[in-house]
A and B are shown apart, each in its own frame.
Chain A
Amino acid sequence: MAKEDITAITQIVERHGKDAGRLMDIVLEAHKELGYLSDDSVDAIAKALGIHRVQVHDMASFYSFFSRKPAAKHTIRLSNCVVDKMHGLAEVAAAFEKALGIPVGQVSSDGSIRLAYTSCTGMCDQGPAALIDGMVVTGLKPSDVPAIVAALKRGKSEPGESEVFPNAEVQLNLRQAGPVVLGPFENGTAIRKALNLTPEQVIEEITKSKLRGRGGAGFPTGMKWGFCRKARGRHFLICNFDEGEPGTFKDRLLLTEAADLLFEGMTVAGYALGAEEGLLYLRAEYAYLKTRLEQVLARRRRYGLLGQNIAGREGFDFDIRIQLGAGAYVCGEESALIESLEGKRGAPRDRPPYPVQRGYKDQPTSVNNVETLCCAARILEKGAEWFARYGTRDSTGTKLLSVSGDCARPGVYEVEYGITVDQLLQLVGCEEAQAVQVGGPSGSCLAPQDYGRKISFEDIPTGGSVIVFGPKRDLLKHVLDFTEFFVEESCGWCAPCRVGTTLLQKKLEKILDGRGTASDLEELRQLGVTVKTMSRCGLGQTAANPILTTLQNFPDLYRKRITDKDFIPDFRLEQAFSEYGAVTGRKFVDPEEAKS
Chain B
Amino acid sequence: MSAQTVSIIIDGRQVEAKAGQTILQAASDAAIYIPHLCYHKDLLPGGHCRICTVKVNGKPINACTMVVGNGMVIENDTAELNEQRKCVIEMLFVEGNHICPGCEKSGNCELQALAYRFAMMAPRYPYLFPVKEVDGSHPNAYIDRNRCILCGRCVRSSRQIDGKNVFGFEGRGIHTRLAVDSRSALADTDLSATDKAASYCPTGSLVTKRVGWKTPVGQRKYDREPIGTDITGRRN
Contacts and interface: CB of A to CB of B under 8 A. Distances in A.
Interface stretch (A79-87, A176-184, A440-448, A500-508): A500-508
Contacts of A352: 66-67
Interface in B153-184: 165-176, 179-183
Contacts of A17: none
A261 to B, nearest CB: 34
B226 interface: no
B203 interface: no
Nearest to A571: B126
Nearest to A39: B183
A20 to B, nearest CB: 12
Decide if the interface of chain A is mainly helix, strand, loop or mixed: helix
Contact of A490 (B165, B166, B172, B182): B172
A488 B53 contact: no
Contacts, number: 124
Contacts of A523: 124
Contact of B175 (A345, A492, A570): A492
Contacts of A534: 50, 53, 60, 84, 87-88
B230 to A, nearest CB: 24
B110 interface: no
Contact of A54 (B62, B88, B168): B168
A487 interface: yes
B179 A499 contact: no
Contacts of B97: none
Contacts of A526: 87
The residue in B94, B128, B165 that gathers the most chain A C-beta atoms within 10 A of its C-beta is B165
> Which size class do A's interface residues fall under?
35 or more
B171 A530 contact: no
A345 B169 contact: yes
Most chain B CB inside 10 Å of its own CB: which residue of A39, A487, A494, A527: A494
A500 B45 CA distance: 22
A502 B94 CA distance: 11
Given A39-B183, A58-B169, A492 B53 contact: no
A499 B92 contact: yes
A520 to B, nearest CB: 11
A95 to B, nearest CB: 29
A54 B171 CA distance: 12
Nearest to B45: A350
Interface in A523-554: 523, 526-527, 530, 533-536
Interface string A37-79: 0010001000000011111011001100000000000000000
Given A53-B183, A490-B173, A503-B125, 14 more contacts: A52-B168, A54-B179, A54-B181, A58-B168, A58-B179, A489-B173, A495-B91, A499-B174, A501-B174, A526-B87, A530-B87, A533-B60, A533-B84, A534-B50
28 contacts: A43-B183, A52-B165, A54-B180, A55-B165, A57-B179, A62-B171, A350-B47, A350-B62, A352-B66, A488-B173, A489-B173, A490-B172, A491-B172, A492-B171, A494-B48, A495-B49, A495-B50, A495-B91, A495-B95, A498-B176, A499-B92, A499-B174, A503-B94, A526-B87, A530-B84, A533-B84, A534-B60, A536-B50
Interface of A: 39, 43, 51-55, 57-58, 61-62, 328, 345, 350, 352, 487-496, 498-503, 506, 523, 526-527, 530, 533-536, 570-571
